[in-house]
Chains A and B, each alone.
Chain A
Amino acid sequence: MFGLTQSSRLTEFERKILPHLDSAYDLARFLMRNDHDAEDVVQEASLRAFRFFESFRGENGRAWFLQIVRNTAFTALRKRYPEEMNVSFDEELHGEPATEPTDAGIAIDRAQDRQIVRAAIEKLRPEFREAITLRDLEELSYKEIADIAGVPIGTVMSRLARARRQLRQILSNPK
């Protein structure tokens, strides 16, 4: 990447990173839960990504960019909701009982409505919103999600399982 002029550096960046703006916004929007903060996060993350574009090795532009978006969003969340975010999140202690919700068909059939599903995802805690967005909406692999979130694959699996269980519970008891 060295030796590139600023303008060809920009061209490279526009070609390799900017196509992933939709994924970036999707993740930021579900983490921040409002348009304004999500736009701020993506704007800032884009500038930071451009500044550190030298450290991009050219392998997976989407995962590389999403990692920066994710870190920017969590920093913003910690600043905005310090109480909520300071509670240390223990993967084991916070696990709910392993029993499945006793529902049969549940409301998911009725949950075609985009707003209902979006609102349900927003009720989850940030790590779970992240797991659902990256896996079920953006369809990234467990490995990519682990790299982005900076956790082992096992943690990704347990977060996904619990996030989906909670999401089903929320969707089956809409208030």
Chain B
Amino acid sequence: MNHDEIRELVHAHVDGELDLISGREVEQHLHGCGECRRAEEQIRGLHDALTSSAPAYRAPAHLRRSIRRALRREANVSEKAFSPWLIFATGAAFAIIVLGFVLFQTTRASQGNKLVDEVVSNHVRSLLATHLVDVASSDQHTVKPWFDGKIDFAPDVHDFAISGFPLVGGRLDYLDGKTVVALVYQRNKHPINLFITPATGSPDSSPVPFTRRGYNLLSWVHRDMRYWAVSDLNEAELKQFASLISG
């Protein structure tokens, strides 16, 4: 190796990333080359300054607690300790659920209530948090291959910008205990989440509408795939979107 090549490897040498033979070669070069030796000293000096000042941050205790709480909630494992507050909260939550149930009796919801709720929750969460899409692209040839190897089925991905429903991107989500594909489209300013999961053996069906918390949902089966479309868009336009997907 010549001087320039060695110069490139000084960091790797200091970091202990070189194999024995290259390491020895760099070592020998350092003996005879003042410039590289100075570089090495500077790298070590910086590293010492970094470690001795211990700038690393550590997770605060309240964050740890909050994460454990959120994970328990996610795993549906109840808290071990029953505090009075928790009992009150449970009671309050129960009351809200009963109230919600009564109210929702007036909607058209018929089946798969829990799943419908989960679809809406996923939709809301994707808008609140920062993870609307993992692969942001309006190019179906970028979005579709992104799912390769992450899931065991290949969803159809098309951009419908021409019809006014441009593709925004995709991500993985979690629905009914399974990893599912979520494609994100946009209609004017309204984001649409389209969840896709395999439904092998189920016959094709036309979209069934639901309403939850002000969101419109459509669910249907097309060519062995179940689709859930959810948005704050009006039902007519959402149906137009569904017909494009099954087009």
Contact = CB atoms under 8 A, between A and B. Distances in A.
Interface stretch (B56-64, B93-101, B228-236): B56-64
A136 B50 contact: yes
Interface residues of B, number: 46
A175 interface: no
B106 interface: no
A40 to B, nearest CB: 8
B74 A100 contact: no
A6 B76 contact: yes
Interface string A140-165: 01100000000000000100110010
Contacts of B134: 71, 75
A42 B67 contact: yes
Contacts of A164: 11, 43, 46
B53 interface: yes
Contact of A111 (B17, B38, B53, B131): B53
B89 interface: no
Looking at A108, A111, A113, the one whose CB has the most chain B CB atoms below 10 A away is A108
A56 interface: no
Contacts of B131: 44, 48, 72, 75
A54 B11 contact: no
B92 interface: no
Contacts of A35: 60
Specify the main secondary structure of chain B where it touches its partner: helix
Contacts, number: 134
Nearest to A158: B8
Interface residues of A, number: 62
B12 A157 contact: yes
Interface in B21-80: 38-39, 42-43, 45-60, 63-64, 66-68, 70-72, 74-77
Interface in A27-75: 29-30, 35, 38-44, 46-48, 50-52, 54-55, 71-72, 75
A142 B17 contact: yes
Contact of A72 (B8, B12, B15, B130): B130
Contacts of B50: 117, 132, 136-137
B42 to A, nearest CB: 6
A94 interface: no
Query: What are the 3 A-B residue pairs with the smallest beta carbon separation, nearest first?
Result: A25-B59, A108-B49, A29-B57
6 contacts: A9-B75, A51-B179, A76-B130, A118-B55, A132-B50, A142-B17
Given A21-B67, A113-B53, 10 more contacts: A18-B67, A24-B59, A43-B66, A46-B71, A51-B74, A112-B49, A136-B50, A142-B12, A160-B15, A168-B46
